[in-house]
């Protein structure tokens, strides 16, 4: 049985859009670049104005599809985020995935997250990673197991197994792979 490894922000939680709307009043914000600033603030500074926005953030359009597939298989959330975000992220996960048996692992860097996934595959775990981070330079055996949720900030990332632009497309890919 395949294990789903799922990033949180940008994949199941619309933290960026929710935080920018609540703190800055801008609706439907999607950054064009991975590192961005809005009124001289990055996402960390915006969230720091009200950490509780992390627990109130809306799900992404991909949430329902991932939830459906997580109902009958192991799911592990892999997330790289500041330590002061973790309690609020745990609230969000409990609210949206609390009925499921899931595991969550937090990392200090995206590189550490990628190494964890790589080590799991090497150890024989049959896993898929649903991600939005624009990883580059990964070995082919990892690339073919990454399902990248497409956003403007990762549009130039190549070498992903699957690039997903709609929830329906995600559902089709997961039906085929799982």
User: What's the confidence (pLDDT) of residue 102?
Assistant: 96
Superfamily grouping for domain 3-13+57-177: HAD superfamily/HAD-like (3.40.50.1000)
Q: Which uninterrupted H or E stretch holds 19?
A: helix 15-19
pLDDT band at residue 165, thresholds of 50, 70 and 90?
very high
For the chain, domain boundaries: 3-13+57-177, 16-53
User: What is this structure's pTM?
Assistant: 0.91
User: What's the confidence (pLDDT) of residue 71?
Assistant: 94
Over residues 121-139, the mean pLDDT reads: 89
Rounded Cα gap, residues 133 and 34, in angstroms: 8
Q: Which residues, other chains included, contact 16 with Cβ-Cβ below 8 Å and sequence gap of 6+?
A: 9, 10, 29, 30, 31, 43
Quick one: which of 76, 69, 64, 68 has its CA closest to 178? 69
Looking at per-residue pLDDT, the higher value among 34 and 28 belongs to 28
């Amino acid at each position: 049985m395949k294990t789903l490894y799922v990033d949180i922000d940008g994949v199941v939680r619309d933290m960026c859009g929710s935080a920018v709307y609540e703190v800055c009043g801008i609706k439907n914000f999607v950054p064009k670049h991975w590192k961005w600033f809005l009124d001289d603030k990055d996402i960390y500074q915006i969230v720091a104005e009200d950490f509780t926005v992390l627990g109130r953030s809306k799900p992404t359009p991909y949430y329902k599809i991932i939830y459906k597939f997580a109902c009958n298989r192991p799911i592990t959330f892999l997330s790289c985020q500041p330590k002061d975000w973790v309690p609020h992220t745990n609230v969000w996960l409990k609210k949206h995935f609390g009925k499921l048996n899931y595991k969550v692992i937090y990392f200090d860097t995206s590189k550490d997250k990628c190494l964890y996934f790589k080590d799991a595959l090497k150890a024989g775990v049959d896993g898929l990673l649903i991600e939005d981070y624009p990883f580059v330079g990964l070995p082919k055996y990892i690339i073919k197991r990454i399902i990248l949720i497409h956003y403007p900030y990762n549009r130039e990332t190549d070498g992903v197994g699957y690039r997903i632009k709609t929830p329906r497309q995600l559902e089709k890919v997961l039906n085929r792979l799982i």
